[in-house]
Structure 1
């Protein structure tokens, strides 16, 4: 008897066929669910649809805070050598030095026995003595001082004066004495008093004397105000007049000029008052400057003095403003926003 075998799909039993069918059905169902519920951007249809869209991307500029230069008050009488590297800016170039030779620490500052860690003074000035011997107009003349490095100012060329011959000097009969800067009468009046008959007919010709050099126009010497010195225990690496590592900048010259004008006004106002009761007190004033050098706001941060002492400090600041427009270099460094300035006044 021949035994026949029933053919089955896939060469397996009915149980295997059902398992394969269920697996295939589940796989199809999973793919359908994926296409239905997965985010649109991940589907193939989304890629084909969005292929023609423009690709836009925006970059926001990074926020960069302007770093305010660190001002230091250089010594006007010390050297004017440019330092290699320094965090300080001032009204002139200068390299650190101190009067006593000690083991060098390569400090940007000289060793000073001051009592104030925040002070920017390395020497105490004598501006008060100069102010009391000058007119009140000297305060505002200070603000007219150009923002230049004192060591780079060009000296007056004598040739410039010799070429500026006064018109009256072209007359050969005009006595040279009338151009002497010691004369007080105008030249035209003296010439009228001297007649041609008074001049000898046969007088030998004399070589004209050179005209006297005009005296340079007087200008205010750069001085610093008295005040507490900075405290620094490290030593500079050079011996000489007390000096600090500083780099000239228009910002440094502007701040020094402003400080000097306020100090001059404060000394003048204080000289008109009896301030014996203010001794040992101090006033801290903060104000904001705009790019035109104008004060936009002012307030008292600290006051241990009397009302008179506080008012003198405010008036010394308000009466000397505006302090002049900022230069393009200053705006590039500081930005165009108002800048905070703090002054501490000490009554001693």
Structure 2
């Protein structure tokens, strides 16, 4: 009996191993994932350069001679709108100007006042760079004033008085001068009949050749009949005494001490720029000062020296006092009422200008501090 050996087919072994491996779900998942990853990378390698290149004509064709392009945009003059340069903010610190200082616009300052001024003082401060002058005052006082004086109170309208007739100047006759004739009672006669006789006597002091003696004043003027004229003085209307020192027309103020000033020499002044708001506030402060002094005189009650009252109020764009926000101080209830009345009694203070409304809006909060000294 013969036997024939047939060699096994290698593909059968591969098929059997593949069948066993494919029947395993974990192995099948790994195989599918590897194949998918290889396929995706192959596609990206082939079509990636075409996807990343952008052609505005829509043709994804690589042009070897293409180059970058430049372009300019030109706008017509009527369509081009230029953004206006931002204006610097207006100064916001109010100070009271010296009316006797010269008008001079400062270079740069955050102060505004009723007129342009450049900081100066009579005695310079070495290397001083301050925008306010050196001044002696009180350290516990907040004041914007640098000069003090007296404001003239407004006179009430009174009916015109009847004109007083002018009196003629009184005529005063000059005193007569005393005259003394030459003395002499003794007579002498010569022997010669053709000679002259004479009276012999001692010459009296002041004697002159006059006919008779005249009573009068020894040192009277030599011109007789001279007259002098001087106006008659009415005791009911005495003449005012001439003032040697003229006070400045500014409100009486208390100064805040400042030791470091400026090296500029001149009339004492701040660095300040003029504005309508500064002029408005200056006039308002002077009006309140006059009204406050008038209230104190009429009440005949003056608070304790060294006390103060601080009034916070709101003013609208018509110059009226919209409301009193807060009143506090150390002078007492009656002093607080006097300060509040000094602010409200003379309101409104006038409508604001257009530039004031643009900066301040419809209302502005102010703080006035009254010091009793």
Do the two structures share a fold, i.e. TM-score over 0.5?
A: yes
Give the structure-2-normalised TM-score: 0.53
Equivalent residue number for residue 273 of structure 1: 299
Supply the distance in 1 between the matched residues of 2:156 and 2:99 (Cα, whole angstroms). 23
Q: What per-residue deviation string (whole Å, max 9, x for no partner) do you get for residues 206-258 of structure 1?
A: xxxxxxxxxxxxxxx99432222133222213111111100001111111111
Equivalent residue number for residue 95 of structure 1: 118
Q: Counting helix residues as a fraction of each chain, which structure ranks higher?
A: 1
Size of the aligned set, in residue pairs, is 224
Supply the distance in 2 between the matched residues of 1:84 and 1:244 (Cα, whole angstroms). 12
Supply the distance in 2 between the matched residues of 1:281 and 1:331 (Cα, whole angstroms). 35
Equivalent residue number for residue 365 of structure 2: 340
Supply the distance in 1 between the matched residues of 2:277 and 2:32 (Cα, whole angstroms). 80
SS in structure 1 opposite 2:251? coil
Pairing 1:303-342 to 2, within 5 Å after superposition: 303-336=329-362, 338-342=363-367
**Runs of 4+ with deviation above 4 angstroms:** 7-13, 23-27
Q: What per-residue deviation string (whole Å, max 9, x for no partner) do you get for residues 154-174 of structure 1?
A: xxxxxxxxxxxxxxxxxxxxx
Q: What per-residue deviation string (whole Å, max 9, x for no partner) do you get for residues 50-74 of structure 1?
A: xxxxxxxxxxxxxxxx988111111
Q: Which runs of 5+ in 2 are unaligned?
A: 1-5, 35-88, 158-162, 164-246
Is it true that 1:135 corresponds to 2:161 in the alignment?
no
Equivalent residue number for residue 8 of structure 2: 3
**Which protein has greater RCO, CA pairs closer than 8 Å, 6+ apart?**
1
Question: Shift of the alpha carbon at 1:115?
Answer: 2.0
Alpha carbons 1:227, 1:346 under 8 Å: kept: no
Q: 1:109 aligned to 128, 132, 142, which one?
A: 132
Supply the distance in 2 between the matched residues of 1:3 and 1:279 (Cα, whole angstroms). 130
Give the structure-1-normalised TM-score: 0.57
Equivalent residue number for residue 225 of structure 1: 251
Question: Shift of the alpha carbon at 1:11?
Answer: 7.6
Q: Which moved more, 1:2-11 or 1:306-315?
A: 2-11
Supply the distance in 2 between the matched residues of 1:93 and 1:290 (Cα, whole angstroms). 26
Question: Shift of the alpha carbon at 1:21?
Answer: 4.0
SS in structure 2 opposite 1:127? coil
SS in structure 1 opposite 2:290? helix
For residues 16 and 230 of structure 1, do their structure 2 counterparts lie closer, same or farther at Cα, with a shift above 3 Å needed?
A: farther
Q: Which runs of 5+ in 1 are unaligned?
A: 28-65, 138-183, 185-220
Is it true that 1:14 corresponds to 2:21 in the alignment?
yes
Bigger radius of gyration: 2
Supply the distance in 1 between the matched residues of 2:344 and 2:297 (Cα, whole angstroms). 18
Pairing 1:12-51 to 2, within 5 Å after superposition: 14=21, 18-19=25-26, 21-22=28-29
